Amino acid sequence: MIPNVKSNKLVAIYLYICNIYENELQHKCKRYSNNNNPEFTDQEIMTVYLFSVHCEQRFKVKHIHEFASHYLKSWFPKLPSYKAFNNRLNRLSAAFNELFSTLLTLLESDNVSSEISILDSMPIITCSGKRTAKVARELIDKTYCASKSTWYQGLKMHVLGFVRKKQLPVPESVILTQASENDLNIFKLYWSETENRFFFGDKIYYDGPFFESLAETKNSHMFTPVKGVKNKPEVLEKFDRAADELFSKFVSGVRQPIESFFNWIIEKTDIQRASKVRSANGLMVHIFGKLAAAYINLVF
């Protein structure tokens, strides 16, 4: 048994998933076999996963299944074995991706500034850099994470977000790449055609000539903390220090919410640790399922 407050939330999530499944999600996981109407439905699988992550802080699929077996059996009497549940869940990676995108649209008009965007990236770690990767090797690679001072195997999640006053940013775009991909290259590839925008990023996005051209052609501007210039005369360095420090502090203050966003996602879903993932589809469920679970928290 679960408390009445959580029971109401479970029902609300299930009804929402059923509604959106009929209109959108079923097209991402439609079956073309004789078993196209299983006793335990896709809607039930997604509900169990989202509720367990969001309300019970069960982050691993094994723990989610154990919780459902002990406390949700009366709600879902056709719950399959752990192996079957895991296999079915991995087939829903595209559905979770679509669900996450749909949830974001519910927040896009909520106190959002469409002229200011902040951007950064976060590692998704499948294993230590000392080990040989055996899972989703077509998607991941090895790199060094300066913020954690460690080598790791995995992905990198790049986020471009709209600024909201006194709230977490709303992701406008989420891009997954191999861990070694440079953040600036991702900006140039996916977001450099954006017009009339002020971007705030960290020093990795600094490229003076490129962003001067972007300002002329797209009226979009990138602001980053001031990057030191090699062999700059000491007298000039001292002369510019106060202004540079004030500007860098301003930029860091504007982009601080993207750091809070990553911390919030990690706290709510443990998304950064993907060491228990055993397939490429499982890795996509781990990422987009966790993101959807976090944003279900805001919707309900």
What value does the mean pLDDT take over residues 39-66? 94
Between the CA atoms of 287, 289, 294 and 296, what dihedral angle is there, to the nearest 10 degrees? 160
Q: Which helix (H) or strand (E) holds 154?
A: strand 150-164
DSSP code per residue over 167-226: EEEEEEEEEEEETT--HHHHIIIIITT--S-EEE--GGG--HHHHHHHHHHH--EEE-PP
* Residue 97 confidence (pLDDT): 92
* Residue 50 confidence (pLDDT): 96
Domain ranges of the chain: 4-91, 112-276
Neighbours of 256 (CB within 10 A): 12
Residue 103 near residue 292, CB atoms below 8 Å: yes
pLDDT-derived band of residue 240, with 50, 70 and 90 as boundaries?
low
What value does the mean pLDDT take over residues 64-70? 95
pLDDT surpassing 60 at residue 32: no
Q: In the numeric block, which tokens belong to residue 134?
A: 């055996």
φ, ψ of residue 259 in degrees (nearest 5): -65, -40
**CA 176, CA 140: separation in Å to the nearest integer?**
10
pLDDT surpassing 60 at residue 215: yes
Note the pTM of the prediction, 2 decimals: 0.90
Residue 119 near residue 160, CB atoms below 8 Å: yes
**CA 259, CA 274: separation in Å to the nearest integer?**
20
**Of all residues in the chain, what percent carry a pLDDT higher than 90?**
64
